[in-house]
Chains A and B, each alone.
Chain A
Amino acid sequence: MPLDGRERERLRWRSRRGLLELDLVLQRFWSPPGPDLDEAQGRALARLLAMPDNDLLDLVMDRVPNADPALEQVLVRLKAA
């Protein structure tokens, strides 16, 4: 199932961060036409976005390894953004 449109928008707003570096990565991730996200990927993204900024940046910059396989797929796309 593709992610519900409003849930998408919620995640998009939650991509506004306190650290500029994350804003920039997430801006690219969302750049038009925007990423394909199904419900499971939406849930993974929501969990990533719920992390403290510094921890998320460490993951995105590959400074620490990701220990949670459920996050891997979306994280790889964030890193590539």
Chain B
Amino acid sequence: MALSIRKFDVVIVGAGGSGLRAALELSSAGLKVAVLSKVFPTRSHTVAAQGGVGAALGNMGEDSWQWHMYDTIKGSDWLGDQDAIEFMCRTAPEVVIELEHFGMPFDRNDNGTIYQRPFGGHSANFGEKPVQRSCCAADRTGHAMLHALYQRNVYARTQFFVEWMALDLVRDAEGAVLGVTALEMETGQVVLFHAKATLFATGGGGRIFHSSTNAFINTGDGVGMAARAGIPLEDMEFWQFHPTGVAGAGVLITEGVRGEGGILLNKNGERFMERYAPTMKDLASRDVVSRAMATEIKEGRGAGEHADHILLKLDHLGPEVIDKRLPGIREIAIKFANVDPIKEPIPVVPTCHYQMGGIPTNYRGEVIVPEGGAVPGFYAAGECGCASIHGANRLGTNSLTDLLVMGRSAGMSVLEYLKGHGSHRPLPNDAGENALARLARLDGQQGGEDVNEVRGEIQRTMQAHCGVFRFPDMLAQGVEKIRALEGRMARTGIKDKSMVFNTARIEALELDNIYETARATMVCAQAREESRGAHDRADFPKRDDEKWLKHSLWYKAGDRLAYKAVNLKPLTVESIEPKARVY
């Protein structure tokens, strides 16, 4: 296959909040910027965010970035790097106001300032009392953010390549990143985007789990491409789960349902939360509920044909209460769980929501590896990057903040880099061949493995063996199972070989990324012998700062693990020393 080449100053993969914010910084500076996206930019997964974007504006009462910083560090269970966290919290008000000036229709107070709503985990005066810090645009914050940023990019003449899928990184012998290969869905052509700098903003890979709140596009492509190019992945064992997603479908059932009296039952109809949390029962905190649910399933008391979910019972509340106090829940249950909660319980399961780990960067968005520090010409921001701001657990509304702060910061770092690297590095002779070989293998595969089946196998393995509560025997088997899938992964095949909008081919290529993401997660999770933030192990129930106050780094080659220290030193203020994380 012929490989045509297109040259840009910068190529950005991903047009969600982080990619758009980065692109704006660069296009506004007059650079020639290409932004690639699998879907139209405003249909990126950022559109799903409703809760808001966190920034200590202090519009509702006193607030400070130091308090926001404390909450973020505590939320991260001290695995977050304090320089990056200070940077984000200190910069947040500025980027939120900037977004307001870009035309973001924030909800407002009577005096015209941005209204801020309360959100779990955000406090005033270092944990003393709740504070209202989340800025939102009704329940369409992500949607509004994407539109505001997209329009600014159109004005700044960013060049969008919509319905293009990046396949692999292009690196030279010195390890510098020279761009990406990408597939144009419309034609099936592969093009090499040759750039002076490359920035990944591909979002998370939540689809590695069977039950996930993430849209289908979230297949961890950036993480997969980085891993195949020899870049390690950081802290991939940390994924945030929500206790109640509709089993199989993933659609969230709000925690308000339990607040209104909904109860969780196992297959025997037992209200098992009474055993795990005799006082709070079904209203215990998220992690306690998730852990109890996972334990019931593991011990064979899950409901359903595969004994793999829990039942959320509401019918005792009566139709009036359900319709009045829980609007929308009934329609969601009917549509996505195929049950009417007025008569039957909703099948639910702890559901994956957010990827804390990713491509290792510093707070400037430069990709940093143990072998030589910054990778020349390579940057990452948003959910695919790991700065690490969220450490072992992300605070609500901090992802949108991260997109704006890190998107802009990575953009500024690229500008700085280009001052000293004004020309394109020459492409090596074999540039792009890795991607072409991957495509040729797929197209030439006879009687290959079915992509949907292999994906299902990976997702079920991750859900059962590496879910919200992790057991040593399950993890050990999980590593074996994921490794054993390597052979099937090498033989995936597609029947439709046409060039134009071949969804089957795209899904097969995405599966490679799902696999890298899943494998990194499983291997890191088995190795980390402690519980910290979202990584919750039955056999090591405590955080172990002595041994594990460090970031994991997973290399695809040989499933190798390395570790690096957590940066406990902020940029300008005193360190917040590790202590117990109690709310």
Contact = CB atoms under 8 A, between A and B. Distances in A.
Contacts, number: 74
B47 interface: yes
A6 B187 CA distance: 11
A52 interface: yes
Contact of A53 (B143, B336, B502): B143
A65 to B, nearest CB: 15
Contacts of B38: 16
Contact of B503 (A12, A25, A53): A12
Nearest to A53: B47
Is chain B's binding surface mostly helix, strand, loop or mixed? loop
A16 B501 contact: no
A9 B185 CA distance: 10
Contacts of B214: 20
A18 B498 contact: no
Given A53-B143, A61-B335, A20 B500 contact: no
B45 interface: yes
Given A52-B143, A54-B143, A18 B39 contact: yes
B506 interface: yes
Nearest to A79: B335
Given A10-B501, A13-B163, A54-B143, A18 B336 contact: no
Among A10, A12, A17, A61, residue most surrounded by chain B Cβ atoms (within 10 Å): A17
Nearest to B496: A9
Nearest to A9: B501
B215 A9 contact: no
Given A13-B163, A24-B336, A18 B331 contact: no
B48 interface: yes
Contact of A24 (B48, B251, B501, B502): B251
A26 to B, nearest CB: 9
B43 interface: yes
Interface in B149-183: 163
Contacts of B398: none
Interface in B203-231: 212-217
Nearest to B140: A54
B249 interface: yes
A13 B43 contact: no
A62 to B, nearest CB: 8
Contact of A13 (B44, B140, B212, B501): B501
29 contacts: A6-B498, A9-B501, A10-B500, A10-B501, A12-B503, A13-B501, A16-B38, A16-B43, A16-B215, A18-B39, A18-B42, A18-B44, A18-B47, A18-B48, A19-B48, A20-B48, A20-B213, A20-B215, A20-B216, A21-B335, A23-B215, A23-B216, A25-B335, A52-B42, A53-B47, A54-B143, A61-B331, A61-B335, A62-B331
Interface of A: 6, 9-10, 12-14, 16-21, 23-25, 27, 52-54, 61-62
Given A9-B502, A20-B216, A20-B251, 7 more contacts: A10-B500, A13-B185, A17-B43, A18-B48, A18-B215, A20-B214, A54-B143
